[in-house]
Structures are given as C-alpha cells and as structure tokens.
Structure 1
Amino acid sequence: MKRLIASTAAGLLALSLASVVLAASLSPEEQIKTRQAGYAFMGWNMKKIKANLEGDYNPEQVKAAANAIAAIANSGMGALYGPGTDKDIGSVKTRVKPEFFQNMGEVGQIARNFIAKADALAAAAATGDEQGVAGAFAELGEACKACHTKYRAD
C-alpha cells in the first residue's frame, strides 16, 4: 500500500511538472483554450455524477467520472493562467476576472482546496458508497463555486 501511494504521488508530481513545462510552451491563446477544455471536461464529468445521484446509481460510472475530475484537478492547470491570458485574444474569449491575477495567494488557496475536494470525491467514489459520494460531490461543488463567484465573469 505504501508503495502504491508513493508511486501515485511521484506520478502526480511528474504530471504537474510536465504540465508546467508544456504550458510555458503554449501561446496565451492556446493556454486559454486548453484550460477551457479541461474545465469543460470536468463539468461534463460533474454532470455524469449528478445524473447518477439523481437517478440509478452506477458506482463504476461515478468512480470513472470522479477519477477524471481528480486527474484534471491535479494536472497543474494553474500553469495555464500565464501572462496574457487575463483577457480575450482574437476570437478566444475568457471569463476570468482581472482580480484573479491580482490575488494569486487567495487563488492558490482556492485551487488547493479544489484539488483536495476533487481527491476526496475520487476516494469516496472508490468505496462505492452513494451517500459518501453525495457529500463529497456537494463539497466539490462548493469549492468550484468559491472561485466562480469571485473570479469568473458572467
């Protein structure tokens, strides 16, 4: 078990470092598009979990969706908020507010909380316990809302 945890941690660290390097090689326009794709994919998986909680609960489907969310949350998405990504670029629009870039300490705390809640959802989903998933799902939704409310334009 310790070996599994260590190898998982090493893998996540490598993924995060690779994400930072990759993000640095992307233009601001590509960074915006990439982060939007990541958030769209997380949103799609959130909708799958919500549908399961409101209908017939399929633990394997929920587990797969929760793992996808956790993987993206842990992928180093913060690196996609590089210089020049604070405003629209040509046809690529962003809804990030300028305040996001002025409060990086708070944004970092919000992001760390989001990652923790995504990991907690994946852990709950791994047990197959619907009530545990429902609670973790609600907490992840609140973590999303914390950033959207303050740093995302309508």
Structure 2
Amino acid sequence: MMGAMAATLLASTAAQAQMKPEEMVETRQAGYQFMAWNMGKIKAQVIDGKEAYDQAKVAAAANTIAAIANSGMGALYSPETTTEQLSNKTRLKPEFFQNLEKAGQIGRDFTAAANQLASVAASGDQAAIKKAFGDVGGSCKSCHDNFRAER
C-alpha cells in the first residue's frame, strides 16, 4: 500500500510542477462534470426510462466514465487545492489530506466500480447495469460525504 501511496504522491508532485492549483481544480472539475453528464445518459435510459434504451450509447457512456476514472486524476489533488487555500473555487475539504489512506481507498473503489459498470454495459444486461450504476453512484457519494464541502 505504501508503494501505491508513494507513486500517487510522486505523480501528484509532477502535476503540481506543471499546473497551478487553480488549473488543477478546473481540470478535475471538468472531468467530474463530464462523468456526471455520462451518468445522466445511463440514468435516463436504464434507471428512469426517460429515453429508449440504446446499448451502444450506454456502453459508450460507461466506457467514458471508466476512462476518466482510470486517467490518473489523483494527480490533480494537492494540499494547495482545498477550500482552505482556494475558498469557493473548490469544494475539496482539507481533511482529504489528513485521511489519505481513506481517500485512496475511496478512489480505488470508485475506479473498480467504474470498470465494473463498463464491463456490464458491454454485456447489455440492464439489471447488472442498474446495480453497477448504483455502485458507481455510491462510491461518488462516499467521497462527497467525507471530503466535499457544502456550499
């Protein structure tokens, strides 16, 4: 586990050297917004039934979510990117960096859930997609509950 943590911190250090804290926040927010948009596509087709189910579109949305989850977004987090330094430009609580092991586990759980969603979306099994969608949403909620400040 320490090796993974060290690798994450090294990647984070490299990103920090290349990006200003505000740029790191904007980039990670864009990634999360794009994932949320794709979650909305799946929700409309598989959960709410507001749109006709199109397996190819659901699979494409799930693949996009998984790609972003696997893109190394952890490098966009640094102690200089919290509400303490950037006020209302971010919702990341400073507690994130006081609980790196927990934050890392939540991140790994999110990535695993996103990968599972992509896998079942490829199969077209709507019941499995619903469950996997819920797991992704639950992992998002876990991070928000622990490390996202209210506005």
TM-score normalised by L of structure 1? 0.82
Q: Which residue of 2 aligns with 1:32?
A: 25
Between Structure 1 and Structure 2, the one with more helix by share is 2
How many aligned positions are there? 136
Contact kept, 8 Å, 1:57 with 1:130, in 2: the verdict is no
Aligned to 1:98: 94
TM-score normalised by length of structure 2: 0.84
In structure 2, the gaps of 5 or more residues are 1-7
Quick check: 1:110–1:146 contact (8 Å CA) kept in 2? yes
Q: Residues 6-17 of structure 1 correspond to what in structure 2 (within 5 A)?
A: none
> Alignment RMSD, CA only?
1.8
Offset of residue 101 of structure 1: 1.4
Q: Which runs of no fewer than 5 residues in structure 1 stay unpaired?
A: 1-15
Distance in 2 between residues matched to 1:107 and 1:142, nearest whole Å: 14
CA contact (8 A) 1:117 1:139 kept: yes
1:5-154 alignment runs, 5 A limit: 21-22=14-15, 24-53=17-46, 54-55=48-49, 56-87=52-83, 89=86, 93-154=89-150
SS of the equivalent of 2:81 reads coil
Equivalent-residue separation in structure 2 for 1:135 and 1:46 (angstroms): 13
Moved over 6 A (4+): none
Identity value in percent: 54
